[in-house]
Amino acid sequence: MRKLDLHWKILIGMVLGIIFGFIAAELNWNQFVINWIKPFGTVFINMLKMIAVPLIIVSLITGIAELKDISRISKMGGKTIFLYLVTTMFAVSVGLILANVIKPGNFIDEAARDQLMAQYTTDAGSKIQEAQMQKEQGPLQPIVDIVPDNFFSALTDNGKMLQVIFFSILIGIGLILIPEEKAKPVTSFFVGFNEVILKIIDITMLLAPIGVFALLSAILVEIPSFSVLQALLVYAFTVIAGLLILILIFYSSLVTFITKNSYFSFLRAIAPAQLVAFSTSSSAATLPVTMERVTEHLGVDEEVSSFVLPLGATINMDGTSLYQSVAAIFIAQAFGMNLDLPTQLMIIITATLASIGSAAVPSAGMVMLVIVLGQAGIPEAGLALIFAIDRPLDMCRTVVNITSDATVATIIAKTEGLLNNPKVKNWDDHYPTNNG
Ligand code: ASP
């Protein structure tokens, strides 16, 4: 009998996790789930996070060293950043249009608004404080933050991925610039190490169905009561509609027009990464899976994926930027504010930058939303309004974030002639190790 594909196994784990979570919440088994089920989810996320930094280092170093030519790096780098910016700005614009057409803020009556404000003001306060700390830094601080003063301390902090990327790129460039016979042993070491890391990802993915079961059931028992969520349904619908437009229309057109391959196969190939993104709400934790799927199943050459994907996980967040624009308009509408056109255009810029600045971890987008609100003159305390429903929306926007990374990686690979490496004949071919 043919074994089940990985994405089906994960999907089954998710569905069972949701069903079990609902039952557990009904029967008040919250403590049991938190003590006995959630830890398996935490182990799964930790395994993914554990592998993220070593993966970035080895794959970037081998990827760049194999380019053998500095000018190709700058060309690919320029193209990548351009595409990331264009997709993000498009996403924000979709969010703004939808929020202005649907006007989700008008659906929230005064009673619901007061209830949410009363219930979530303290939670919102801590996010506002976090954002305040970021705001107090100078305007060029993000650039300073990319350069570590100590590589080893950067290695110990998953939040410092851009620093790790920076250093790994330098090592890769160094390897290109030194004589080949000197570079060879170092490159061979990293090439071998890379294979080991990819194997560890395969092993980790065996845990995925159980991991997502545990994560989703824990989320369900910790989620606020449905009566609060009801008031926010139109807002949630607006965000999800925007995310669907990106996934079903925007990326699908890009992938089909540029690569001439079927978008359905593209989605099939990256489905496990999307499901892991949904369950973990973290692009950084999902990176190992995204990397494996894009390289082994979409046939994007490692030269491209090793550079484009880690960078994308940290700076390219279309889902987050779309959510930030909808949330900003929603909060403004709920407070009866009318935002004029220049303010809305300004939101395109601030939400783009805020999404770039958001860390690839759960609810980071919400912290940076505070900055968007501040710039547009919308009361930051309004964060309390969207708190209750943030986690489910975070799960959905993270799926879009990694789908966008995979789309851009595929486009770059195609335009550089680096799509379809010989290992992968077409997108439906599954790599033997993951075929069940
Ligand atoms: N959780 C998102 C990610 O990791 C970021 C966010 O929007 O909060 O991609």
Phi-psi map region of 431: left, alpha, beta (phi>0 left; psi -120 to 50 alpha): beta
Residue 48, CB half-sphere, CA atoms under 13 Å: how many? Answer: 29
Decide: 427 and 265 in contact? Cβ < 8 Å.
Answer: yes
Position 87 confidence tier, pLDDT thresholds 50, 70, 90: very high
359 CA: nearest ligand 1 atom? 5
Query: Residues lining ligand 1, judged by CB closer than 6 Å?
Result: 281-283, 317, 320, 358, 360-365, 394, 397-398, 401
pLDDT of amino acid 27: 93
State the pLDDT at residue 212: 95
Cα 355 to ligand 1 centroid, rounded to whole Å: 9
Contacts of 82 by beta carbon, 8 Å cutoff, 6+ apart: none
- Ligand 1 pocket test, pick from 394, 395, 399, 405 with the greatest ligand atom count within 8 Å of Cβ, gives 394
Distance from the alpha carbon of residue 326 to the mean position of ligand 1, in angstroms: 15
Task: Answer whether 0.85 is exceeded by the pTM.
Answer: yes
Select from 45, 281, 316 the residue to mutate for testing ligand 1; criterion: most ligand atoms less than 8 Å from CB: 281
91: CA distance to ligand 1 center in Å? 15
Angle between helices 180-206 and 38-67 (to 10 degrees): 160
What is d(CA 207, CA 9) in angstroms, rounded to the nearest whole number? Answer: 10
Per residue in 214-265, pLDDT (tens digit) is: 999 999 888 776 666 777 899 999 999 999 999 999 999 999 999 988 999 9
Read off the pLDDT band of 434 (50, 70, 90): very low
Max CA distance (Å), the chain: 73
Atom nearest to 401 CA in ligand 1: 9
CA–centroid distance, 279 to ligand 1, in Å, is 12
CA 79 to chain centre: 20
Amino acid at 283: S
Q: What is the pLDDT of residue 426?
A: 55
Q: Which helix (H) or strand (E) holds 144?
A: helix 141-146
Task: Specify the pLDDT at position 1.
Answer: 45
